[in-house]
A and B are shown apart, each in its own frame.
Chain A
Amino acid sequence: MPSIISISGVNKTYASGFTALNNINLDIRRGEIFALLGPNGAGKTTLISIVCGIVNRTGGTVTVDGHDISSDYRAARSLIGLVPQELTVEAFETVRNAFAFSRGLFGKPANPAFIDKILKDLSLWDKRDAKIITLSGGMKRRVMIGKALAHEPKILFLDEPTAGVDVELRKDMWQMVRSLRDSGVTVILTTHYIEEAEEMADRVGVINHGEIVLVEEKTELMRKLGRKQMKLELREPISTVPAALNGYELDLSPEGTTLTYTYDNQAERPGVASLLGDLGKAGIQFRDLDTENSSLEEIFVNLVRKTQ
């Protein structure tokens, strides 16, 4: 599949000397949903900002649909819609005017019917003539998306689209992203939620300390990263894990009150049921249990260890 964005050898060193990106090579395929995963400060936003023209790169080249982002910036940028992480809106503008402004800024002729369609698609129709300052945070997030879509971009960047967003809006947003992809738009989203990448992405890139650690098909990556942890809070502290449970490689907290079991939830037999049975046999009682996906930070520790 031909790539729509081609990033090669991109570096970014800020005036302070901080290196935000180090030799980034990345190709985004036409029509895919690409999730860029990474912890805070990994360089996700810097990378997006370079492609969109907000931040100057120190070295390397970027082309968007064959257009160099420096020498042919008009053609490159007019293909891109950007929804930044921060809710930055023209407070005193109405929603409809804000959309029309964004469209004009990207050089597209006015098209009220299209603006109306976006307003309806994003459930903003009732608020079309409301000043943006009067809207809730979730509504403002929708406004940001609408502004990015107002000039009919071929590529949409969503920087942490669901940070601080309620469940309903998150589902709406996922739905919207899918329908955009179906209409041929390439979507690049950054996130630090693995669930989001799992839900949405065709491919996933992992970035850490300004370097691309890996890029893989999502299904492949989820198999690798899909580890979960079960924490058992014990009724009575124990000093050691009984030998009968050695096969589970349990971690005992220093106080002896919490047992942690790490498992692969994609596996056919994750071992949760048998562990609980074996605990009972060993006479260990627990008050509570909690399962969680292993955090991205932990995965990074693993990834970085592997790459070293």
Chain B
Amino acid sequence: MNYRAVWAIYKVEMLRSLRTILQSVVSPVISTSLYFVVFGAAIGSRISEVNGVSYGAFIVPGLIMLSLLTQSVSNAAFGIYFPKFVGTIFELLSAPISYLEIVTAFVGAAATKSIVIGLIILATAALFVPLHIEHPVWMVAFLVLTAVTFSLFGFIIGIWAGSFEQLQLVPLLIVTPLTFLGGSFYSIDMLPGIWRTITLFNPVVYLVSGFRWAFFGTADVSIGISLGMTLTFLVACIAVIAWIFKTGYRLRT
């Protein structure tokens, strides 16, 4: 194992985030605050409690998930796409480093960054609503699992993307809609019958539900199913990446 290489890539990726700290950290904090003002204060005051939780607190896990997913995907995608785009990828490919090490470094850095942002949003949220976390260990477990899974997903997009447009396409057209429709701002029990069934095909529902369970002890779907679905998606991403590296898809011709 070439630990020094993993550390070198990880460090460079983290430093890149620090260089763009305004965009990386300040912008999610501001947008979260805006969500609280709009949904929590303005609309939330007209919505009664959901499953025994005040609406302002209810949306916190969803908001964190929203940022966690989009940040994980875009960080990891950009992290591997950029060397491909400018050509510096040659150095990675010519280095004595395995694919596993490349993924560990890039996905590790992307996941770290999105977890940090998730925690910052949690801290920001605590300023607006009183928060109580029922299962802190599970909360952290879901946070890490989701960050890693979606960073892997982002890594796949970064490898696949042939242009900046494609790089933005999947987060914009798939991840964001799925997150908004995944029960970030509502309980899926609020939906009429058919829509509730359709929603169950949305993988994000299980992430948000599981995460919310860790906070409040109540969930739309059972915690076991949430965990199972998350792990399934994780395994699927790992399988795709294994295939990418086995075939050299878009990396080694």
Give A110's nearest chain B residue, CB to CB.
B4
Whether A102 and B91, one on each chain, are in contact in the complex, defined by CB atoms closer than 8 angstroms, is yes
Does B193 count as interface, using CB distance less than 8 angstroms?
A: no
Whether A106 and B93, one on each chain, are in contact in the complex, defined by CB atoms closer than 8 angstroms, is no
Offer 23 A-B interface pairs, CB within 8 angstroms, sorted by A.
Answer: A52-B93, A53-B93, A53-B252, A75-B96, A76-B96, A77-B95, A80-B94, A82-B90, A82-B91, A84-B90, A88-B87, A88-B90, A92-B16, A93-B12, A97-B15, A101-B8, A101-B11, A104-B5, A104-B8, A105-B9, A105-B95, A106-B5, A109-B4
Question: Restricting to B67-98, which residues have a CB under 8 Å from any CB of A?
Answer: 86-88, 90-98
Question: Restricting to A1-44, which residues have a CB under 8 Å from any CB of B?
Answer: 14-15
Does A89 count as interface, using CB distance less than 8 angstroms?
A: yes
Chain B proximity of A117: nearest CB distance (Å): 20
Residue among A55, A88, A97, A106 making CB contact with B96, cutoff 8 Å: A106
Given contacts A88-B90, A92-B16, A92-B19, 12 further A-B contacts (CB under 8 A): A53-B252, A55-B253, A56-B253, A73-B96, A77-B94, A82-B91, A86-B87, A93-B12, A104-B11, A105-B9, A107-B4, A107-B96
Does B39 count as interface, using CB distance less than 8 angstroms?
A: no
Whether B252 and A147, one on each chain, are in contact in the complex, defined by CB atoms closer than 8 angstroms, is no
The complex places the Cα of A103 from the Cα of B4 at a distance, in Å, of 9
A54/B4 contact (C-beta < 8 A), A75-B96, A88-B86, A105-B95 known: no
Whether B90 and A74, one on each chain, are in contact in the complex, defined by CB atoms closer than 8 angstroms, is no
| Binary contact track A86-124/B, C-beta < 8 Å → 1, others 0 | 101111110001001111111111000000000000000
Whether B88 and A56, one on each chain, are in contact in the complex, defined by CB atoms closer than 8 angstroms, is no
Interface residues on B, range: 20 to 34
| Binary contact track B33-46/A, C-beta < 8 Å → 1, others 0 | 00000000000000
**Across the interface, which residues of B come within 8 angstroms of A91, CB to CB?**
86
Whether B252 and A77, one on each chain, are in contact in the complex, defined by CB atoms closer than 8 angstroms, is no
Does A294 count as interface, using CB distance less than 8 angstroms?
A: no
Does B186 count as interface, using CB distance less than 8 angstroms?
A: no
Question: Restricting to A169-216, which residues have a CB under 8 Å from any CB of B?
Answer: none
Whether A54 and B88, one on each chain, are in contact in the complex, defined by CB atoms closer than 8 angstroms, is no
**Residue of A52, A107, A109 most packed against chain B (CB within 10 A):** A107
The complex places the Cα of A103 from the Cα of B91 at a distance, in Å, of 11
Chain A to chain B: the 9 pairs with minimum beta-carbon distance, closest first: A104-B8, A88-B87, A74-B96, A77-B96, A78-B96, A52-B94, A105-B95, A107-B2, A54-B93
The complex places the Cα of A11 from the Cα of B242 at a distance, in Å, of 26
Whether B93 and A105, one on each chain, are in contact in the complex, defined by CB atoms closer than 8 angstroms, is no
Give A48's nearest chain B residue, CB to CB.
B94
**Across the interface, which residues of B come within 8 angstroms of A73, CB to CB?**
96
Does B180 count as interface, using CB distance less than 8 angstroms?
A: no
**Across the interface, which residues of A come within 8 angstroms of B253, CB to CB?**
14-15, 55-56
A89/B90 contact (C-beta < 8 A), A105-B8, A106-B5, A107-B5 known: no
The complex places the Cα of A101 from the Cα of B14 at a distance, in Å, of 13
**Across the interface, which residues of A come within 8 angstroms of B16, CB to CB?**
92
The complex places the Cα of A55 from the Cα of B251 at a distance, in Å, of 9
| Binary contact track B15-38/A, C-beta < 8 Å → 1, others 0 | 110010000000000000000000
Chain B proximity of A38: nearest CB distance (Å): 20
The complex places the Cα of A297 from the Cα of B252 at a distance, in Å, of 31
Chain B proximity of A147: nearest CB distance (Å): 7
**Across the interface, which residues of A come within 8 angstroms of B96, CB to CB?**
73-78, 106-107
**Across the interface, which residues of B come within 8 angstroms of A52, CB to CB?**
93-94
The complex places the Cα of A76 from the Cα of B11 at a distance, in Å, of 25
Chain A proximity of B9: nearest CB distance (Å): 7
Whether A56 and B94, one on each chain, are in contact in the complex, defined by CB atoms closer than 8 angstroms, is no
Residue among B87, B91, B98, B248 making CB contact with A105, cutoff 8 Å: B91
A88/B88 contact (C-beta < 8 A), A54-B94, A93-B12 known: yes
Does B216 count as interface, using CB distance less than 8 angstroms?
A: no
Chain A proximity of B15: nearest CB distance (Å): 8
**Across the interface, which residues of B come within 8 angstroms of A53, CB to CB?**
93-94, 252
Residue among B4, B86, B92 making CB contact with A104, cutoff 8 Å: B4
**Across the interface, which residues of B come within 8 angstroms of A90, CB to CB?**
12, 86, 88
**Across the interface, which residues of A come within 8 angstroms of B12, CB to CB?**
90, 93, 97, 101
Whether B19 and A82, one on each chain, are in contact in the complex, defined by CB atoms closer than 8 angstroms, is no
Does B138 count as interface, using CB distance less than 8 angstroms?
A: no
Give B247's nearest chain A residue, CB to CB.
A56
The complex places the Cα of A86 from the Cα of B88 at a distance, in Å, of 10
